[in-house]
Structure 1
Amino acid sequence: MCLVSWLGAGASACPRASCLSPGRLPGYAEEASGFFLECDSSVLGALQKHLALYKIRRKVTMEPRPELRVWAVLPNSPQADQTAPLQERAEATAILTRDPRTACMGWRLLTQEEGPALLPRAQLGDLQDYHTHRYQQGIPEGVRDLPPGVALPLESNLAFMNGVSFTKGCYIGQELTTRTHHMGVIRKRLLPVRLTGLLPAGGVGPGTAVLTASGQAAGKFRAGQGNVGLALLRLETIKGPLHIRISESDQVAVTASVPGWWPVATK
């Protein structure tokens, strides 16, 4: 059994699919070839403008596809086998593929139809289910979790999620990213955290300091939902008690964890 959530308009990580460049999707005719890029809808215009800078004189068309819906197909429980009941497919009306980031994020369904109608054994969820699941798994998504100019690829664990290529030719930031990956030490990483205590009515704000028991800076809270979220933390501090000060006299305990899907060498 799977849980399906439509990532619809207005969400902080609301994707829209855009045909960006020549290529071929599995099962599609050559004349209809292209790539679909899922992105945060709040930056769709900015992304199109940015990619247009690199089109130069190529015959490439980029256009939004608002008629397409993107659904997340998630396991009902972390222990459920999310791969056995489904098979990848590309048809005239739908594309079903494994989420390229990590297996614990299940599948992505791109279609103009209603998602549950295509997966009759699925239960309809909502965006809160989806975001809670990915925060628990430590998966950042969209500009809220990965603010442009602030989030670094390696600290955000994008190399673990097929988000960084170390074999592709030059791209902006490629030299520094590759050198750090092969020779450097990554001292801070974006980690899933759980908050324990009385939270402010509006939640914990982005950039709020996370402190050690002695009051030393351990990192910063990035984003979250309810009592789960993501924080950029110094790895040397995560085994000790951490907290966020809510007021002069109140604080919220912060418990960080290392996701099970991370490569073993980094745990």
Structure 2
Amino acid sequence: MPIPAAARALMRATPTVVRLQNRGLIFVSGSQAAEFLNGLISTAVTTQSLGSFYSSFLHAQGRVLHDVFIHATRDAKSQPAYLIEYDATAPADAPALLPMLKRHVLRSKVRLRDASDEYNVWAAWGHDSKVGDSRRWMRAQSGAIEPEWDSSPWGLEGEALVDRRAEGMGTRRLVRTGDRPQEAISHDEGVPDDYLLHRVLRGVPEGVVDIPPMQAFPMESNLDVMGALDFRKGCYVGQELTVRTYHTGVVRKRILPVLLHSPTPTSHGLDNSQSHSRFTSGLSIRASLTHAPGEGRVARPRGTGKLLSTLRGVGLALLRLEHVEGLEKGDLKFDLVDEGAVASNNNASFVTPWWPDWWPKQVEGV
């Protein structure tokens, strides 16, 4: 399923830089900062290779609390320190990140403080950010997929973080509040919706809408493919269920980009602007047969998918892989289910997913 032409037409052609207004920052310092983080996040932290990277905090039962970027920096004494970048718009019923971290400090030589007012997070794309990208793919029998790099893929201390969650994502940079990133000289300045559309078209989930705290499983949310899970590091919170799934479980769902079709599409294949309000996050996606079943009992497709972030007729959706396979074969179709609307064959909206261009096709270790 290549990217549909209607979705490709939405890709921004010019280099763009956007300030991400929904991001919070926590400053972690102290002589045991690396050891402290290493026991909590799903990737390895060492003082030997101080650099920035993508990771996550998991619940003890293996569900995702926050997907995060860890930006390496220095404290006032030039000791290694870290800035945790996370989605600050978490719902009220989700555990707040800073109080949760403070509960884990105990006697560790670690200091924590909110640094959200001190820095702004900027994302830039449309420039060359493929330097040193020598990635290979490894797949487990469970369906988990992980990238493997020859060198540090995310960038080094003091540099912009190369966003390697997917090809073409660009870079992220922390800038002191009131200042502007160096990319502002050569890039067009966009708005947050430009960044949302950018990552949706590349199939990159991010934040509490796409990865709901206490609900989402890491591999179903593509954290493995995006490099946020280390299945070989030592103990961390949520490791047991995650590693067990990797070795003996089955990944049954994935987040994919989708094209959203309204009952009154334009000639370009996308819904018209007046229909955009129809597509809101949280809607169910139901798989149904495209043709009448033959003789004998035919099993009804089990379960439903869920629409996540949406914008301008495209979005991300959590879908069952068996349903995606059925759609690829032409046996199934995906319909949006709005429980509050009156069901009708004339107003039903439908969904077309596609696999991102960067998604691993040929993998090793099967």
Question: Following TM superposition, by how much is the alpha carbon of 1:207 offset from its aligned partner in structure 2, in angstroms?
Answer: 4.3
Residue 16 of structure 2 corresponds to residue 3 of structure 1: yes
Give, in whole Å, the separation in 1 of the partners of 2:238 and 2:95: 22
Deviations 1:84-134 (A, max 9, x none): 6xx95755xxx4120142332110011115435554211111101000111
Residue 100 of structure 2 corresponds to residue 50 of structure 1: yes
Residue 318 of structure 2 corresponds to residue 237 of structure 1: no
Deviations 1:180-212 (A, max 9, x none): 223332121111111011546353341423333
AA in 1 matched with 2:360: P
- 8 Å CA contact 2:283, 2:336 repeated in 1: no
Residue 248 of structure 2 corresponds to residue 183 of structure 1: yes
What are the residue-to-residue correspondences of 1:1-267 with 2, within 5 Å?
2-8=15-21, 14-21=22-29, 22-23=33-34, 28=74, 31-43=78-90, 46-65=96-115, 66-75=117-126, 81-83=128-130, 95-112=159-176, 114-198=179-263, 199=275, 201=277, 203-213=279-289, 216=301, 217-238=303-324, 239=328, 240-246=332-338, 247-249=342-344, 250-265=347-362
Deviations 1:134-191 (A, max 9, x none): 1111111111111112110011110111211112222233122112223332121111
- 8 Å CA contact 1:5, 1:125 repeated in 2: yes
Give, in whole Å, the separation in 2 of the partners of 1:99 and 1:54: 29
- 8 Å CA contact 1:6, 1:115 repeated in 2: no
Are the structure 2 counterparts of residues 16 and 187 from structure 1 closer, same or farther at C-alpha, using a change threshold of 3 Å? same
Unaligned runs of 5+ in 2: 1-13, 35-49, 52-71, 132-153, 264-274, 291-299
Are the structure 2 counterparts of residues 205 and 102 from structure 1 closer, same or farther at C-alpha, using a change threshold of 3 Å? closer
Give, in whole Å, the separation in 1 of the partners of 2:199 and 2:97: 23
Greater mean alpha carbon deviation, residues 25-34 or residues 134-143 = 25-34
Unaligned runs of 5+ in 1: 9-13
- 8 Å CA contact 1:194, 1:256 repeated in 2: yes
- 8 Å CA contact 1:211, 1:244 repeated in 2: no
What SS does structure 1 have at the residue aligned with 2:277?
Answer: coil
Please give the TM-score of this superposition, normalised by the length of structure 2: 0.62
Residue of structure 2 in register with 1:11 after alignment: none
- 8 Å CA contact 1:4, 1:74 repeated in 2: yes
Please give the TM-score of this superposition, normalised by the length of structure 1: 0.82
- 8 Å CA contact 1:213, 1:243 repeated in 2: no
Structure 1 or 2, whichever has the larger Rg, is 2
Deviations 1:22-45 (A, max 9, x none): 355678576253011110112498
Greater RCO (Cα-Cα under 8 Å, separation 6 or more): 2
Count of aligned pairs between the two proteins: 252
Give, in whole Å, the separation in 2 of the partners of 1:161 and 1:221: 20
Give, in whole Å, the separation in 2 of the partners of 1:122 and 1:63: 32
Structure 1 consecutive aligned stretches of length 4 or more whose deviation exceeds 3 Å: 23-30, 80-84, 87-91, 113-119, 213-218
